[in-house]
Structure 1
Amino acid sequence: MDAGPIDREKTAERLLAASARHSFDPDTDLDWDAPFTEGGWFWPPELVSLYDTPLWKAMSQEQRIELSRHEAASLCAMGVWFETILMQLLLRHTYDLDPTSGHVRYALTEIADECRHSTMFARAVTKMGTPTYRPSRRDHRLGRVLKSASTTPGSFAGTLLAEEILDWMQRLAFPDERVQPFVRDVTRIHVVEEARHIRYAREELRRQMATAPRWEAELTRFTSAEAARVIARSLISPRVYAAVGLDPVRAVEVARTSAHRREIMRKSARRLMDFFDEVGLLHGPSRRLWRSSGLLA
């Protein structure tokens, strides 16, 4: 056995041990009956899409907090969508592999984690009392195409896109005492378990890109760049603005052109873009697509 499979198995065994030590059951580890704190934010205000815009400054404090509630719910609902795709990609990855290997055992463990995360997010949306926000019809269809056409390295690139952007935001949310304790507990569980998933996906993507034939590497660059565009624009549903009494067309444009929001999105993906550049995902003509996602400066 060469070094690649050996390293892959060593990583899997470490992650399986970490899973055994630090896994959660959201149904019992969260207090679902606890009331929300009066005046508490549901997401750090600096991460709300309209923050520091003229529209934000014209809103009342109550309206801003209400927008944070709807945006937190949008992130949770979109998280279920992302993780549904991710679970399919992971199952497809394991289909031809040895089911007794540590690598496959960890993939199945991660799928179990993602199932719990999805039910946690869905239940959190219900607790927050908002509509269930969904991607646009176009992006829903694009998600179906992208997951079906994804290469193996593209599957891990897409995993990282969905996980690392949210992970960066959640690492700011869970220690923030302005944020509702329940929301902080949800993000804490997700951050702890996603750290393992990110490690698994990063190491596998590095291995895959090092051995991918030229055609596969080039296809992966384009499909991953398009996935980045879909994910970035889907995080916050335009319907959240109408829910708090704003003109959604105007609010979407204000958020899109906000210098603060653009900087937040670039910061959320900075480490990931550096890693993607290192493994060769940002090379060639697809770089223009990556920039149009708003994640790459």
Structure 2
Amino acid sequence: MTSTQPRPIAYEPPAAKSGTDADYDQIVEDLSKASVHRNFDPYIHIAWDAPEMAIVPNDPRWILDPQVDPVGKHPWYKALPQEKQIEIGMWRQANVAKVGLQFESILIRGLLQYASKLKNGDKRFRYVTHESKEECQHTLMFQEMVNRVGMDVPGMPRGMRVVDPIIPLFSTFWPTVFFFGVLAGEEPIDHLQKDFLRAGANVHPVMAAVMELHVAEEARHISFAHHHLRATVPTRSRPTRFVLSMAMPIVMRVLCGAIARPPVQFRREFDVPDEVFKEMFWKSEDSQNFLSDVFGDVRMLAEQCGLMNPVSRRIWKALGIDGRSSRYRSEPSYNAR
């Protein structure tokens, strides 16, 4: 029997792209598939209520690591009584989790706005939506940790919390700058967590579980941002690339300060002397090394994108975030070896 329905127009896939564009599309597709086959739910993959996960007073595993954390390295912190070190360690690590939550919230809103402007068939839509879903899981995980630690931490400095609603707009109007911001937020947290895990620091099981889950998925998110910028920045005009080369280190430094440096409440809560706080962030040699090491991967990316030039190099140096570029992503800290 012959169908009386009109035959649909045969679907013709878009012509295959060549070179870098085709490679980039394949990478985005691979990352999307990885998001389906390897993802985590903090309420399934973290045993929050297991006996060993209990958060109890005076647990020395909350003491900040003297080899990794900028506060933990400082002589002022090391000279405090153990009870005070534990209290400060709990506050700081809970606050880092709160900062992570706030940053992920900004990222989710920006990614969804970015996705809404993509054309039908663009492979990035699927990936950035997958990433947004994963970042939602991270916000749940970070808030659960904060709640269990039981300290009313503010997270980012007040100024950043005020401009929070504005930052996602960059994904629509200045997407390249937005993805600079993505890396400026993700790289410091990822760097610090990887250093903790590599050092085998004696951290509380709750903190260890959160870091391990976060690092596993952030590797995919950071990979996308690197590939995206490598694929898109070189297509910009020369004047635009010059402006971007100057914007990149500024975005990195501003957001790193907002994420890695505790807010004013930290100083007030624990009577941290002003000079001590300045040494921790970023006057001491240890803290300057940390600030430089955090952006080794990003400096490598800037070179790959053609965003390192005599002017931009001076800006990186003036902001204290210059140094040797990584030879490969996630290379261990040069100053830590």
TM-score by shorter chain over 0.5: yes
Bigger relative contact order, structure 1 or 2, given CA contacts below 8 A and separation 6+?
A: 1
1:266 is matched with 292
2:139 is matched with 118
2:218 is matched with 194
Matched residue SS, 2:254: helix
Q: Hey, what's the Cα distance between the residues in 1 that align with 2:102 and 2:239?
A: 29
Q: Hey, what's the Cα distance between the residues in 1 that align with 2:64 and 2:38?
A: 25
Q: Hey, what's the Cα distance between the residues in 1 that align with 2:312 and 2:287?
A: 23
Q: Does 1:161 align with 2:184?
A: yes
Q: Which of residues 11, 31, 35 in structure 2 aligns to 1:15?
A: 31
1:36 is matched with 55
Matched residue SS, 2:61: coil
- The range that moved more, 48-57 or 127-136, is 48-57
2:97 is matched with 76
- The range that moved more, 89-98 or 69-78, is 89-98
CA 1:84–1:22: 2 relative to 1, 3 Å: same
Q: Which has more radius of gyration?
A: 2
**Shift of residue 18 of structure 1?**
1.7
Q: Which of residues 210, 230, 242 in structure 2 aligns to 1:206?
A: 230
**Shift of residue 107 of structure 1?**
0.9
- Size of the aligned set, in residue pairs, is 296
Q: Which of residues 197, 207, 223 in structure 2 aligns to 1:183?
A: 207
The AA in structure 2 aligned to 1:81 is: Q
User: Does the 8 Å contact 2:62/2:204 carry over to 1?
Assistant: yes
TM-score where L is the length of structure 1: 0.88
Question: What's the % identity of the aligned pairs?
Answer: 25
User: Does the 8 Å contact 2:194/2:215 carry over to 1?
Assistant: yes
Which has more helix, going by share of residues? 1
2:149 is matched with 128
Q: Hey, what's the Cα distance between the residues in 2 that align with 1:292 and 1:139?
A: 22
Give me the CA root mean square deviation. 2.5
Runs (5+) with no aligned partner, structure 1: none
CA 1:54–1:177: 2 relative to 1, 3 Å: closer
User: Does the 8 Å contact 1:174/1:185 carry over to 2?
Assistant: no
1:64 is matched with 85
CA 1:119–1:291: 2 relative to 1, 3 Å: farther
User: Does the 8 Å contact 2:91/2:153 carry over to 1?
Assistant: no
Q: Which of residues 261, 278, 291 in structure 2 aligns to 1:253?
A: 278
Q: Hey, what's the Cα distance between the residues in 1 that align with 2:292 and 2:239?
A: 29
Matched residue SS, 1:50: coil
